[in-house]
Structure 1
Amino acid sequence: MTQTMIIIAREWKNDFLFLGYMLTLLLAANTGVVNASPENAALSEQRRAQGEYLARVGNCLGCHTAKGGQPFAGGYRLSTSFGTFITPNITPDKETGIGLWSEEDFWKAMHEGKSRDGKLLYPAFPYTEYTKVTREDANLIFAYLQSVPAVSQSNPPHEIRFPYNSRPLLYLWRTLFFKQGIYEPDQSKSDEWNRGAYLVQGLGHCNACHTARNVLGASQEDSMGGGQIMGSSWHAPSLTSRQEAGGMDLAIEEIIELLSSGVSQRAVTSGPMGTVVRQSLQYLSQDDLRAMAIYLKSLPENNALSEVSYPEMPENVRKYLAQGEKLYEKYCQNCHGISGRGAPGIYPALAGNRSVTMTIPTNVIRSVLNGGYPPTTAANPRPYGMPPFQQIIRDEEVAQVVSFIRNAWGNRGSLVSAINVGQSRGSNH
């Protein structure tokens, strides 16, 4: 081969390399991968991990995964007094999920409560709380969701009763009850307090459960006063009453322990809250758990809920509780003890247990009927459970034993009737 031919061949080779490089850039631009350098790959993975963490804080998996279904593929049925809402597929599938969504589309859903096509979302999706999330955090969550396996799954439409199925009514609802806006830090508070407030009020959307709702389904803004959990017959206790779940008289470390493990010396999480601890809170960093605990402990106390007085017991009530005491000795005493103190780390104490003496007795009735376990967490990998008694004792007996527990060892709570038990027994949620 002559020298001239060698030079031409080298030039052609360089041209082919250049063309190949340009084609690579074009393909990268079309697929969204601009530079696959190790630095950019590490940055992308870091963003994905941050988004995964934030999605855990918001417990996106909990609502967007049907029982036994694929993660984030939706199909979870949320029963309410307005009908049943079916959660959507938020995997990156382009046909049935959010694979065609942009960051802007996702931001509008989180911040404005609007779908990609501009339709107003029903507030069963807690955008009333998520609106407080920053744009940066929303983008990180979106980046994570775009990285999960795409699942082709079309979910059925909502089953909403008339007239609530009329979407124009949402404009009125939003005017009355939706306040759009990112969380604004309180400059008089510490950074740690503000971080806790941001997590509790925003991504954690605690107020979505721990508040009463009006006849139109709107929660009392940032009240944290407790209420019926939407789609469930469980009662979320007040976070502003020391008689229920308020943290006023709890140490910061005790609140952290309860949030991260589901159990503490004086409390055990159960029902929907146990699920939140298992799926979400146990994965939070110690810094974020501490920030949440500091904020929760600082919530102003609702004296109307805390200052509850009960009259002296008449003789007929004493006899009623005596029947409950006999049932307690037969079915409960072996685990919870003669003095109701339980066994630390194994069986929860009933004496001084605020879950037992809550104003609304729904949760303790359900625990007796259905039994159950605290959440399985890294800090409590093998929780001790309680067997169900709904097939063993009658409603009248459940009422008697629960009434006894609520009024023994210094506890004071209202009496429970067989009607209360029957209402809880008839619920499957």
Structure 2
Amino acid sequence: MRTTLWGRIAYILGGLVAALALAAAVLVTMNLRGEDPLPDAADTAWRATPDQIERGRYLALAGNCAGCHTVRGGAPYAGGLGITTPFGTVYASNLTPDVQQGIGSWSAAHFWRAMHNGRSKDGRLLYPAFPYPSFTRITRADSDALYAYLRSVPAAAVPNQPHRLRFPYDTQAALAVWRALSFTPTSFVADPAQPAEWNRGAYLVEGLGHCIACHGSRNVLGATEEKRGLSGGLIATENWYAPSLTSKREASVADWEARHVVALLKNGTAPGGSVMGPMADVVYRSTQHLSDADLGAMAVYLQKLPDSTPQADASPPARRDTATMERGARIYDQRCAYCHGDAGQGASGAYPALAGSRAVNMSTPVNLIQVVRHGGFLPSTSGNPRPYGMPPFGHVLDDNDIAAVLTYVRGAWGNNAPAVTTRDTMQR
């Protein structure tokens, strides 16, 4: 009897061990799919040319690498910036040629492995806060140029800070599961049905530009939902919403003139809108430095994105509390009308119109709340060196005031967006 019982237990345990071994094998296989062989420990034959270094400098701007890998007042590309995620904080690494802390001991093949496969020099899996799910699309030649440029910047012995992630997200096992479900190394493949300019724009937007990192939605595991494309997403830890680039109700530029799309990316402002929040930093650090040819290519690509605009409905004006609207109107008259006009008409070239504004009428009010509370500032660019900005009002308006004035703005002058509640403002 005992022998039979122990035999059954051994059989069950053996089955569990076999199942775990099979699962581990599948997990390893899925994490290795599409990967190149391990690079050599050294790449002594590789030498950078001046043209390659300059090309890498340009590509680093296109990818806004300094935006994450340089802290304010710190050495360029020395890392240390904390990137807050729903799972904890990931710290950007040192990319300078320091041998101990940076990539001074890395070969070009090691760097390509990180960009294309999301693995560090020692084989560790990298966290996708480093957007290798997008960078995997860049060419080996561009990866080598980036490597050449980063090896040319001054070395800085700034220690890499350990990530601060909650268990189990701080384990390589959890990251392996994420990668198995969410990442496969790939390459950019030009669409032969599209012109070269469109393909160049696709390469920049989908690859180095990693636009989907903000303008895409994410699943419960934090992976970008590639099939939904640039359909908009909440940057949860920053409390900003990156609007959909496929919906004409949000930030689609399909019906803009191409030159105005270029102006927005180059100057931060255009007749159809302007950039604030995280996008202002992207324009300041990255897109304003790109060539007109590349900006034009990005414009062509963005204008041809599939349209996801919801069907227009004939819904009646949203119901609004009369007292809230009256309170909001008083606040608007006291705080906003001087710049934005009594009828929300704004002032051309200075203060944006609020009447009919897509930013005002979006279903989510999160960006409006941020702007009213913390101010709205365009980037200073060569084409717009002294931009107008909106001062913060969070020190003079409480949550109820902000909800009231935004409810008024979203329901006045023909606008018909949902009212803003105090609960909305308290969550931001």
Q: 2:392 aligns with which of 361, 374, 388?
A: 388
Say whether 1:101 aligns with 2:102: no
> 1:312: how far off?
3.1
Aligned ranges 1:171-320 → 2 under 5 Å: 171-221=176-226, 223-229=229-235, 231-304=237-310, 307=312, 310-314=315-319, 316-320=320-324
TM-score by length of 1: 0.86
8 Å Cα contact 1:266/1:348 also seen in 2: no
Q: What SS does the aligned partner of 1:294 have?
A: helix
Q: What SS does the aligned partner of 1:303 have?
A: coil
Long gaps (5+) in structure 1: 1-29, 35-42, 425-429
Q: What SS does the aligned partner of 2:230 have?
A: coil
The alpha-carbon distance between structure 1 residues 340 and 312, as it changes in their structure 2 partners (threshold 3 A), is: closer
8 Å Cα contact 2:239/2:370 also seen in 1: no
1:340 & 1:45 partners in 2: Cα distance?
A: 53
8 Å Cα contact 1:111/1:127 also seen in 2: yes
The alpha-carbon distance between structure 1 residues 308 and 60, as it changes in their structure 2 partners (threshold 3 A), is: farther
2:215 & 2:282 partners in 1: Cα distance?
A: 13
Q: What SS does the aligned partner of 2:274 have?
A: coil
Q: 1:325 aligns with which of 308, 329, 332?
A: 329
Long gaps (5+) in structure 2: 1-42
The alpha-carbon distance between structure 1 residues 52 and 290, as it changes in their structure 2 partners (threshold 3 A), is: same
The alpha-carbon distance between structure 1 residues 310 and 397, as it changes in their structure 2 partners (threshold 3 A), is: farther
Q: What SS does the aligned partner of 2:238 have?
A: coil
Aligned ranges 1:10-29 → 2 under 5 Å: none
1:362 & 1:151 partners in 2: Cα distance?
A: 39
Root-mean-square deviation (CA, aligned residues, Å) is: 1.8
Aligned ranges 1:117-128 → 2 under 5 Å: 117-128=122-133
Cross-structure match for 2:360: 356
Cross-structure match for 1:17: none
Q: 2:380 aligns with which of 376, 379, 385?
A: 376
Matched length: 385
The alpha-carbon distance between structure 1 residues 313 and 219, as it changes in their structure 2 partners (threshold 3 A), is: closer
> 1:270: how far off?
0.7
Q: What SS does the aligned partner of 1:84 have?
A: strand
Say whether 1:160 aligns with 2:165: yes
2:359 & 2:236 partners in 1: Cα distance?
A: 19
Structure with higher Rg: it is 1
The alpha-carbon distance between structure 1 residues 199 and 309, as it changes in their structure 2 partners (threshold 3 A), is: farther
294-303 or 405-414, larger mean C-alpha shift: 405-414
1:290 & 1:33 partners in 2: Cα distance?
A: 34
> 1:288: how far off?
0.5
Q: What is the one-letter code of the residue matched to 2:95? A: I
Q: What SS does the aligned partner of 1:228 have?
A: strand
1:126 & 1:229 partners in 2: Cα distance?
A: 15
Cross-structure match for 2:413: 409
8 Å Cα contact 1:111/1:132 also seen in 2: yes
8 Å Cα contact 1:324/1:402 also seen in 2: yes
The alpha-carbon distance between structure 1 residues 371 and 87, as it changes in their structure 2 partners (threshold 3 A), is: same
1:309 & 1:213 partners in 2: Cα distance?
A: 31
8 Å Cα contact 1:79/1:230 also seen in 2: no
Q: What SS does the aligned partner of 1:68 have?
A: coil
Cross-structure match for 2:8: none
> 1:387: how far off?
1.1
